[in-house]
Amino acid sequence: MDIVYINDLKVDTVIGIFDWERRIRQTVSLDLEMATDIRKAAASDHIDDALDYKSIGKRVIQFIEDSDFQLVETLAERVADVVREEFGVAWLKLRLSKPGALRGSRDVGVIIERGERT
């Protein structure tokens, strides 16, 4: 199994459980590892044979910018659904960080794995 990844994708969105958080936009950061087999793309050297991290990144940015969930858990799960269903990704690992949400900590968040590694 090979991996195409996106690291530290920063997106501004409405996220949080408190009233003040519903009125502002905060930055979340996403790390995404997606299972793929890169050999066909490597042989053809053509983007049509690759899992296009640019297309996935743009879709994920759009989804997160348009969302307004309370929990990082919900946002992470929904982003995973989008990537798996729209881009045919069989397995992914997603880390969603909320910088500055806990005083004394750089960031907090969730890490999820979904699907089967083939």
Ligand X SMILES: Nc1nc2c(c(=O)[nH]1)N=C([C@H](O)[C@@H](O)CO)CN2
Distance (Å, whole) CA 71 – CA 74: 5
> So which residues are the catalytic ones?
98
Half-sphere exposure of 31 (CA within 13 A, CB side): 11
21 binds ligand X (CB under 6 A): yes
- Of the candidate residues 11, 16, 36, 64, the single one contacting ligand X (CB under 6 A): 16
Tell which positions 30-69 bind ligand X, by CB under 6 A: none
Give yes or no for residue 94 binding ligand X (CB under 6 A).
Answer: no
Burial class (CB in 10 A: 0-12, 13-18, 19+), 97: buried
| Binding flag, residue 20, ligand X (CB under 6 A) | no
Task: Select from 12, 71, 105, 113 the one that contacts ligand X (CB under 6 A).
Answer: 71
Residue 73 as a binder of ligand X (CB under 6 A): the answer is yes
User: Smallest Cα–Cα separation from 76: which of 27, 10, 28, 14?
Assistant: 28
Please name the residue that has the structure tokens 């950061």.
29
Minimum CB distance to ligand X smaller for 30 or for 41: 30
Cβ proximity to ligand X: between 87 and 98 the closer is 98
Residue 21's H or E segment, with its range, is helix 19-22
Question: Which residues contact ligand X by CB under 6 A?
Answer: 16-18, 21, 71-73, 98, 101
